[in-house]
Amino acid sequence: MVALIHNRLSKAVHMHVISIGILGIMGRMGQAISGLIQKDPQFQLIGGTLNPESNHIIHETSLCLSTSPDLIFEKSDILIDFTNPETLIKHLNLSKIYNKPIVIGTTGLTKNHHDFIDEAATTIPILYAPNMSLGINLLHALVEKTASILGPQFDIEILEKHHNQKIDAPSGTALSLGQAAAKGRNVNFENQSVLNWVNHPKRKENEIGFAVQRGGDMAGEHIVSFFGPQERIELSHSASSRQVLAYGALKAASWIYQKKPGQYSMMDVLNLK
């Protein structure tokens, strides 16, 4: 018994506390993540970047807070980025310069952003997920499997609902669910996705349709419907707060710590691949 207690204490003493820097610390997700970090002994909050145009009043003096990200990168083991597409490439360049892993939850990315992520992942570990929720990522696996089993006689529609301040539409999560469905069907997502049904001709086989709702302060809901002959199957996920995304982001940060260079996703974290 004494030896067992000694071993457990020894592991606790030698457990490395992961220092986290949050890019966009005063944003909605930045604040949610920083709140969780400060309750978890596995992590240490170094600080984060501030928007130069922000009018937030900062009372905390023990954190490193700056409009310039260099110091945040230097002091942190891992960076978490929920800022915007305009700053992502700069953050990826700094990750390469300081050789630091980065967890990216920023949505609204273009092909150019994804190409840059692919290139940066040859030298640093990158975990990108348009939605960090554990439930949403399980939903991806279920959508892919369901699309594969049901076949083209079932039409696929994806409905997403978010708060009235969300900028991108359809959401990055909705698009990734569509990509999962396309993978299950073994079809090209770009060719089969229908983002707007207005003036669209009669539906074709394997098309994946999208619908968007914006209103209030709802955190997010996604519904994937499979419409078949005489029956309908729906797979859905609803988040009541951003805490689920913050929790997932920290789980991703813990998982990617000390991983070799490469591009990873929440599917890797949950061992769903």
Q: Which of 96, 163, 166, 251 is catalytic?
A: 166
Instruction: Kindly report the number of other CB atoms within 10 A of residue 272's CB atom.
Output: 14
Beta bridge partners of residue 157, listed in sequence order:
209, 225
**What pLDDT score was predicted for residue 59?**
53
166 noted as active-site residue: yes
Provide CATH 3.40.50.720 ranges for the chain. 2-128+243-269
Long-range (24+ apart) CB contacts under 8 A made by 54-60 are: 54/26, 56/26
**What pLDDT score was predicted for residue 70?**
93
Provide CATH 3.30.360.10 ranges for the chain. 134-239
- Residue 13: band (very low, low, confident or very high) from pLDDT cuts 50, 70, 90: very low
Position 120 pLDDT exceeds 50: yes
* 187-208 pLDDT, tens digit each: 999 999 999 999 898 999 999 9
**What pLDDT score was predicted for residue 54?**
60
Position 20 pLDDT exceeds 90: yes
Task: Locate 177 and state its tokens.
Answer: 């669910």
Q: In terms of Cα–Cα distance, which of 238, 106, 216, 220 is closest to 165?
A: 216
**What pLDDT score was predicted for residue 219?**
84
134-239: in CATH 3.30.360.10: yes
- Residue 66: band (very low, low, confident or very high) from pLDDT cuts 50, 70, 90: confident
CA torsion sign, 89 to 91 to 94 to 95?
Answer: negative
Distance CA 262, CA 273 (A): 15
Q: Which of 91, 113, 161, 162 is catalytic?
A: 162
- How high is the mean pLDDT of the chain? 90
The CA–CA distances, whole Å, from 5 to 8, 14, 247 equal: 5, 14, 30
- CATH homologous superfamily for 2-128+243-269? NAD(P)-binding Rossmann-like Domain (3.40.50.720)
Please state at what angle helix 28-37 crosses helix 243-256, rounded to 10 degrees. Answer: 60
For residues 253-273, average pLDDT:
93
Position 87 pLDDT exceeds 90: yes
* 89-110 pLDDT, tens digit each: 999 999 999 999 999 999 889 9
162 noted as active-site residue: yes
